[in-house]
Structure 1
Amino acid sequence: MNNAKLEHVNITVSDPQRSAALLRDLFGWHIRWEGPSILGGHTIHIGTDDCYIALYTNPDVRTADPTFNKGEPLNHIGITVDDLDAVEAKVIAAGLEPFNHGDYEPGRRFYFFDWNGIEWEVVSYG
C-alpha cells in the first residue's frame, strides 16, 4: 500500500497577504515560507507543519484583482475544523457570506467564496 498524502495545493490570488491573514484567522495556520516566485510573482505557504496552501500572485494578477469562476477548473477546497460555528462567525466577520449549510452523516458543513471567487467548504466531523 502507498502511504501517499496531499502535501500542498497552489492557488492564484490577487492579494496573498489578505488571503493568508484570513486562513490564519479561520484555521489557526502559520506561514511556513514566503518569497519570490515565477513570473515576477510572490508566494506565501500557509498551513500546518504537514501540509499547506501556496498562495501565488504576480503583477498581472495583482493589477487585475481577478474573480475566478467556480469550476474553472477548481470546484472547492475542503477544510476540516473542530468548531464549525466559531469558524463561520470569523467568515462573517471577514465580510464573506457563508451558504449551503448542511448536516449530513457523518458531519456538518458550510461553504463560502473568498474575494477571488475561490470556494471553500468548511466541515466538522465532531
Structure 2
Amino acid sequence: MPARLEHVNIAVPDPDATASILQTLFGWHIRWSGASMQGYSVHVGTDDDYVALYAPGHDMAPPAKRYRHWGGLNHIGVVVDDLDAAEARVKKAGFKPASHADYEPGKRFYFDGPDGVEYEVVSYS
C-alpha cells in the first residue's frame, strides 16, 4: 500500500477561529485540540486526514510570499463532491473565489481564506 498524506501543519494566530471557518466551509470536525510544542493546536478535518492549526507561544515573522520561497506553503487543496455548493459557502463566509478552471480530470477554484492561506477547491465529479 502506498503512503498517504495524513495532515499538514500551519501556523495561525487563532486556531479555534480558523477551525470554525474550515468546519463551516468544508463540513469538517475537530479531531483534537490542546497544548502542543510551546503553543496551542487544533486538528480539524475528517477521520482520515486533517489540517493542524498551530499558534506558538511567541512572536512570529510575517508570512512569506506564496510561490516565491523553497519549502513555502503555496496552497492547501481540498476535494469536494459539489463544487458549486462549496463556492456558495465560500462566498457566504465572505471570501472571494478566483482562478476558476476546468482541467483534466476536474474543475477548481481558489480563494484566500483565513490567515492569508490560499485554498484550492477541486471536484472530480
Give the TM-score, by structure 1 length.
0.87
Once the two structures are superposed, what CA deviation does each residue of 1:61-103 show, in whole Å capped at 9, x if it has no partner? 5xx7x55531341111111000111111111111111110001
The question of 1:69 aligning with 2:69 is answered no
Instruction: Give the structure with the higher percent helix.
Output: 1
C-alpha distance in structure 1 between counterparts of 2:27 and 2:63, whole Å:
25
* Structure 1 ranges of 4+ moved more than 2 A: 58-61, 66-69
Matched residue SS, 1:60: coil
**Given the superposition, is the C-alpha separation of residues 102 and 23 from structure 1 closer, same or farther in structure 2, using an over 3 Å criterion?**
same
Aligned counterparts of 2:29 and 2:22: Cα–Cα separation in 1: 9
Which structure 2 segments of 5+ residues have no match?
Answer: none
TM-superposed CA distance for 1:19, in Å, is 1.1
| Distance in 1 (alpha carbons) for counterparts of 2:12 and 2:84 | 26
Cα distance change on mapping 1:115 and 1:48 into 2, 3 Å: closer
CA distance in 2, matches of 1:106, 1:38: 39
What's 1:49 paired with? Answer: 47
Query: Matched residue of 2:102: which SS?
Result: strand
| TM-score normalised to structure 2 length | 0.88
Q: Following the alignment from structure 2 to structure 1, what is the Cα–Cα distance between the partners of residues 114 and 64?
A: 9
Distance apart, 1:3 and its partner CA: 2.1
CA distance in 1, matches of 2:95, 2:65: 17
The number of aligned residues is: 122
Identity %: 55
Residue 90 of structure 1 corresponds to 89
